[in-house]
Amino acid sequence: MLSTVRLAVANTLSAVRCSQALAPTVARSYSNSAPFGSLADEEVLQKLTTGELQHHNLERDLGNALRAVKLRRKHVASMLESNQKMSRELDHEGFDYEQVIGVNCENVIGYMPIPVGVAGPLVLDGRQYMVPMATTEGCLVASTNRGCRAIALSGGAHSAVLRDGMTRAPVVRMPDVIGAAALKDWVEADMSGERKLASLFESTSRFAKLKGIKVNVAGRNVFLRFEGATGDAMGMNMISKGVTKALDFLQDTFPKMDVVSISGNFCTDKKPSAVNWIDGRGKSVVCETIIQEDIVNKVLKTTSASLVDVNNVKNLVGSMVAGSIGGFNAHAANIVAAVYIATGQDPAQVVESATCATLMETGENGKDLHMSVTMPSIEVGTVGGGTHLKSQGAALDLLGLRGSASSAPGDHARALARVVAGSVLAGELSLMSALAAGHLVRSHMLLNRKPTLHEEQKTEKIIENEKPEKREEA
């Protein structure tokens, strides 16, 4: 059983995402073999049709990544009349496919160009960041930019990383509930079990540092949530390797233990969960700013009191009514997704990375706006994954956060997590202001008096001007 699991883990690790270090080796080995490299295009297409050649092996068989992409597109286009439009319009020229093969994507037929805008400067922790955002949602960058401006004019934002640890939770099955309890005890008693597992876990990478194991039992199933620091990598591959090694040892110690899955969903990766919201996953970050009243009025066109009111009713009460987990915000996912796509993060992790509580209150003078975002599960890296790709790497360069930090492992990834939180702060501020401004205008009109026709038109114009902001909301 264990060997099957090991194989599955190995396959998952290599198929889903090989390490950055592996990429050049894989690409080189393709150019070296190329058993069908001398065939003419027509012959290759013919062999694809007969099944003698397969799509997923084309790079290896032809020894030329760009040629493989072109012929795969041609073959796909020939399969259906409707595919021909794709072959004309899906971009594929001018991209270095060698960097992708064996690392980021399979069966490649092109690439998806997404516009990249920039918001900033985001003044955060005494530094200025120009934030890259890849999006097709009009107004998102403009709105985040407006939030950045209000923050900068107010002296900037401040952030803190409360916790830093990627998690992976395998599920193992014991013969009975007593065995499950015994395993929990072994891991937790005097921390000696955990210490043993930590040394094995950490032997798999110089960056992996085990921070703890949270054990939950359900019947005879035991869920072991390993949490570890992973340097500047987002860390899923790294943690999975460490966990596999620890599981080998556990299997020897508990021969009747059955490893059901390397991931038992108590991790929790790419799914909504209370455990991430409460315990955090990746980087847990808080970020705040105090916006002076005149800036709330002039730049954001509203008042602090109105913002606090709308925030309470919408982001807190509204999300409570909806039974939300971590959705106590207006549109954090918009900003997280745009920054993730631009900087080569895993976009599927927006599910938990965008959980966020946006809080607003009036400052000590009763007039300024004191605002914060609390984001417990920002999963980012500046090495590994998509971060090594040329454009994504350039976006990280824009932030000054590409690759390994020379100061201490993890400094770049933590700084990127702070930038994500700071950008969300700006995006939340701007959209909430648009909503509050609309609310303010409407309530004045309703409460003060019945407007004249001229005033009605003026009001509509103001609301119309704010509409793009509203459109950002998911």
Enzyme catalytic residues: 137, 270, 346, 444
For the chain, the first-to-last Cα distance in angstroms comes to 44
Q: How far is the CB of 233 from ligand ADP (least distance, A)?
A: 3
Q: Does 63 engage in binding with ligand ADP (CB under 6 A)?
A: no
Q: Does 23 engage in binding with ligand ADP (CB under 6 A)?
A: no
Q: Does 383 engage in binding with ligand ADP (CB under 6 A)?
A: yes
DSSP-derived pairing of the beta strands 327-328 and 356-362? parallel
Q: How far is the CB of 7 from ligand ADP (least distance, A)?
A: 19
Looking at 163-303, list the stretches that DSSP marks H as alpha helix, in order from N- to C-terminal side: 177-188, 192-202, 236-253, 274-279, 293-298
Q: Does 70 engage in binding with ligand ADP (CB under 6 A)?
A: no
Q: How far is the CB of 387 from ligand ADP (least distance, A)?
A: 9
Contacting residue, 280, 381, 386, 427, with ligand ADP by CB under 6 A: 381
Contacting residue, 207, 266, 328, 340, with ligand ADP by CB under 6 A: 207
Q: What sign has the CA pseudo-torsion 260, 261, 262, 268?
A: negative
Stretch that binds ligand ADP, among 16-24, 47-55, 146-154, 258-266 (CB under 6 A): 16-24
> Between residues 208 and 424, which has the closer beta carbon with respect to ligand ADP?
208
The Cα–Cα gap between 98 and 403 comes to: 19
Are 331 and 468 spatial neighbours (Cβ–Cβ below 8 Å)? no
Stretch that binds ligand ADP, among 62-70, 112-120, 233-241, 289-297 (CB under 6 A): 233-241
Q: Does 374 engage in binding with ligand ADP (CB under 6 A)?
A: no
Q: Does 231 engage in binding with ligand ADP (CB under 6 A)?
A: yes
Output b/e per residue, 375-397; b: 16+ Cβ within 10 A: bbbbbbbbbbbbbbbebbbebbe
Q: How far is the CB of 403 from ligand ADP (least distance, A)?
A: 7
Instruction: Give the number of residues in contact with ligand ADP, rule: CB under 6 A.
Output: 21
Torsion of CA 349, 424, 337, 22, to 10 degrees: -60
The Cα–Cα gap between 176 and 258 comes to: 11
Q: How far is the CB of 237 from ligand ADP (least distance, A)?
A: 3
Q: What sign has the CA pseudo-torsion 134, 136, 140, 141?
A: positive
Stretch that binds ligand ADP, among 48-56, 123-131, 230-238, 334-342 (CB under 6 A): 230-238
Q: Does 21 engage in binding with ligand ADP (CB under 6 A)?
A: yes
Q: Does 83 engage in binding with ligand ADP (CB under 6 A)?
A: no
Longest CA pairwise span in the chain (Å): 82
Going residue by residue from 291 to 320, which x/- string records binding to ligand ADP, judged by CB under 6 A?
------------------------------
Stretch that binds ligand ADP, among 12-20, 45-53, 69-77, 364-372 (CB under 6 A): 12-20
Are 423 and 121 spatial neighbours (Cβ–Cβ below 8 Å)? no
Q: Does 344 engage in binding with ligand ADP (CB under 6 A)?
A: no
Q: Does 340 engage in binding with ligand ADP (CB under 6 A)?
A: no
Q: Does 385 engage in binding with ligand ADP (CB under 6 A)?
A: yes
Phi first, then psi, for residue 149 (nearest 5°) are -65, -45
Q: How far is the CB of 397 from ligand ADP (least distance, A)?
A: 16
Contacting residue, 69, 238, 285, 359, with ligand ADP by CB under 6 A: 238
Q: Does 164 engage in binding with ligand ADP (CB under 6 A)?
A: no
Phi first, then psi, for residue 379 (nearest 5°) are -105, 100
Q: How far is the CB of 420 from ligand ADP (least distance, A)?
A: 16
> Between residues 215 and 234, which has the closer beta carbon with respect to ligand ADP?
234
DSSP class of residue 370 equals E
DSSP-derived pairing of the beta strands 171-173 and 127-134? unpaired
Q: How far is the CB of 212 from ligand ADP (least distance, A)?
A: 18
Q: Does 327 engage in binding with ligand ADP (CB under 6 A)?
A: no
> Between residues 233 and 299, which has the closer beta carbon with respect to ligand ADP?
233
Q: For residue 270, which of 361, 184, 167, 367 has the smallest C-alpha distance?
A: 167
Q: Does 236 engage in binding with ligand ADP (CB under 6 A)?
A: yes
Are 305 and 262 spatial neighbours (Cβ–Cβ below 8 Å)? no
> Between residues 12 and 216, which has the closer beta carbon with respect to ligand ADP?
12
The Cα–Cα gap between 214 and 10 comes to: 24
Per-residue tokens: 121: 């400067």
Output b/e per residue, 402-429; b: 16+ Cβ within 10 A: bebbeeebbbbbbbbbbbbbbbbbbbbb
> Between residues 17 and 314, which has the closer beta carbon with respect to ligand ADP?
17
Q: Does 205 engage in binding with ligand ADP (CB under 6 A)?
A: yes
Q: Does 234 engage in binding with ligand ADP (CB under 6 A)?
A: yes
3-state SS class at 433: helix
Contacting residue, 170, 235, 344, 427, with ligand ADP by CB under 6 A: 235
Contacting residue, 165, 384, 427, 438, with ligand ADP by CB under 6 A: 384
What is each CA distance from 453 to 442, 445, 457, 458, 466, in whole angstroms?
15, 12, 6, 9, 20
Looking at 345-452, list the stretches that DSSP marks H as alpha helix, in order from N- to C-terminal side: 350-353, 390-399, 411-448
Which residue ranges make up the site for ligand ADP (CB under 6 A)? 17, 19-21, 205, 207, 230-238, 381, 383-385, 404, 409
